[in-house]
Chains A and B, each alone.
Chain A
């Protein structure tokens, strides 16, 4: 089958192998598309938190599909059942496929048991975006938070995911942190599994 030396024509498109596809996408094309997504949603909402919710919903759809694709392609259809397993899957595999690099860091929250944080110096989606001062705490990373939420919820780990700016001393631009707060049932199940 593989490497027959000539391109096999498939009668049914569903029989075609699920290839890796082209690995590179134009950053400019994505930036313009994302900018348009934000602008379109701005016209549909009345306030900032609604805008964040819309971006999150858009990301959720992406996350759900990315999970299915990566489980089949990279993990050989094995399902993650442990918390740390799914978190490192998001932190490495999902980030690598979506943004071309693993996330900068994955940390456990110190104050609450159910909080985890993925940090990034600057999210790819925010690369060209400058938030005006009057928009306060709005973060276009809500899109990425939605992606993470989509992956986690569809893997069976319901969570509330948000994106925040964290000021860093000595640097002009703040870091971005994706804060993941797992639901009660996840922690209970994790405790039961030992």
Chain B
């Protein structure tokens, strides 16, 4: 059972730097994933301004009929969002873990250029492990 459909990471200018799908439900071709990324970036920015509460930091959760979208924005504007099954628990914690993996295996890599697509082997390996662990934990609950 795949609770997570896909994972996106976008840089602070709205460009997609990482996309991974888990299972056929989340699959999208490259162009569509780029569109979703820039769409989300703009929506996030607009809704931050529209919010009736002062000091709003942006959308954290979008609930729809067939999916949920959890978003985490770092202090630098890099956004991590995951599209998952409705009602999936503990996605914020998972996003925080992914953020930590990003800071470790992407930002400490001398061969990674800022704001560019992520092509780091260690990041992929550890991300797969983290998602796997999360999946196992979900089944266990």
A contacts, CB < 8 Å to B? 28, 31-32, 34-39, 42, 128-132, 135, 140, 172-173
A97 to B110, CA, bound (A): 25
5 A-B residue pairs with Cβ-Cβ distance under 8 Å, sorted by A, are A35-B110, A128-B108, A129-B108, A129-B109, A130-B105
Which chain B residues lie closer than 8 Å to A32 at the CB level? 108
Min C-beta distance of A19 to chain B, whole Å: 30
A33 to B91, CA, bound (A): 32
Contact indicator per residue, chain B 101-125, by CB within 8 Å of chain A (1) or not (0): 0001100111100000001111101
Which chain B residues lie closer than 8 Å to A38 at the CB level? 110-111
Total contacts A to B, CB within 8 angstroms?
39
A129 touches B111 (CB 8 A): yes
A132 touches B110 (CB 8 A): no
A128-B104, A130-B120 given; A35·B109 CB < 8 A: yes
A135 touches B108 (CB 8 A): no
Could you say which interface size class chain B belongs to?
10 to 19
B111 touches A28 (CB 8 A): no
A37 to B120, CA, bound (A): 19
A132 touches B119 (CB 8 A): yes
Min C-beta distance of A4 to chain B, whole Å: 44
Interface of A, helix, strand, loop or mixed by DSSP: helix
B110 touches A42 (CB 8 A): yes
B108 touches A31 (CB 8 A): yes
B110 touches A39 (CB 8 A): yes
A130 touches B108 (CB 8 A): no
Min C-beta distance of B107 to chain A, whole Å: 8
- Residue with the highest number of chain A CB atoms closer than 10 Å, among B111, B120, B122: B111
A35 touches B108 (CB 8 A): yes
A37 to B125, CA, bound (A): 25
A128-B104, A130-B121, A172-B125 given; A135·B111 CB < 8 A: yes
Residue from B105, B111, B123, B125 within 8 A of A131 (CB atoms): B111
Which chain A residues lie closer than 8 Å to B121 at the CB level? 130-131
- Closest residue to B113 on the A side, CB-wise? A39
Which chain A residues lie closer than 8 Å to B120 at the CB level? 130
Which chain B residues lie closer than 8 Å to A172 at the CB level? 125
- Closest residue to A132 on the B side, CB-wise? B111
Give 6 nearest A-B pairs by CB, closest first.
A128-B108, A38-B110, A130-B120, A130-B121, A35-B110, A31-B108
- Residue with the highest number of chain B CB atoms closer than 10 Å, among A34, A130, A131: A130
B105 touches A128 (CB 8 A): yes
Which chain B residues lie closer than 8 Å to A135 at the CB level? 111
Min C-beta distance of B10 to chain A, whole Å: 21
A130 to B105, CA, bound (A): 8
A28-B108, A36-B110 given; A128·B125 CB < 8 A: no
Which chain A residues lie closer than 8 Å to B122 at the CB level? 128-130
Which chain B residues lie closer than 8 Å to A34 at the CB level? 110
